[in-house]
Amino acid sequence: MARNDSQKTVVFDLGGVLIDWNPRYLYRTMFDDAAAMERFLADVATGEWNEKFDAGRPMDEGIAELLALHPHLDVPLRAWKTRWIEMIKGPIHGTVEILDELAARGTHLVALTNWSVETLPLVRHDPGYPFFEQFAKVYVSGELRLIKPDPRIFAHVETDLGKAPDRLLFIDDNPANVAAATARGWIAHRFTDPGTLRDFLIGQDLLAKAA
């Protein structure tokens, strides 16, 4: 189906929406003590630290920085890169089904993800994730060196697609990202589960109600 500029573009986040990523999937196999694992993730390998990789920082550089401060955590810190793929459980199948249905209806689909350029290829080029082929474009924070919820990354998507904000429908599991998109005039939905997302898209006339 041909696309026109008035057609809505659906913009999918990846991690937490289409791909089940959680560092605990890896670190539960490395820490015998769950509380110690949680301290490691809260105080050492923090979300803020990982966001720098999403913004383009080389992983070796970030890991070396923490190794200098926490040499006794050598094994789990190095595993953040060498065993990163073990943080991925797989696709979130209910959302993939929705994506496939949208594609079958001719919906213009793109992805906007906070992700390191070093690790995204591990899933993007994995045959277990064929849904990447449904996207006309994949906007990656590590390539753009901008991360959500920075308004500039949303502005980049608008400009690159030549789309007015109200023609962009955004799906993300992070409330801050949803709020940033809404502030720019995008239609935004905070993802919690595939069923709720399906209901939202039906309400937007992008999916049909079940017969």
pLDDT digits (tens, 9 = 90+) for 63-99: 999 999 999 999 999 999 999 999 999 999 999 999 9
pLDDT digits (tens, 9 = 90+) for 15-29: 999 999 999 999 999
Structure tokens belonging to residue 148: 């959500």
In the prediction, which pLDDT does 5 show?
56
The fraction of the chain above a pLDDT of 70, given in percent, is: 97
Asked whether residue 1 carries a pLDDT value surpassing 70, the answer given is no
Rounded to 10°, the helix 47-54/59-69 angle is 150
Give the residue among 38, 11, 21 at the shortest CA–CA distance from 88. Answer: 21
Asked whether residue 4 carries a pLDDT value surpassing 80, the answer given is no
User: Rounded to an integer, what distance in angstroms lies between the CA atom of residue 44 and that of residue 65?
Assistant: 11
Q: Are 163 and 139 in contact (CB under 8 A)?
A: no
pTM: 0.94
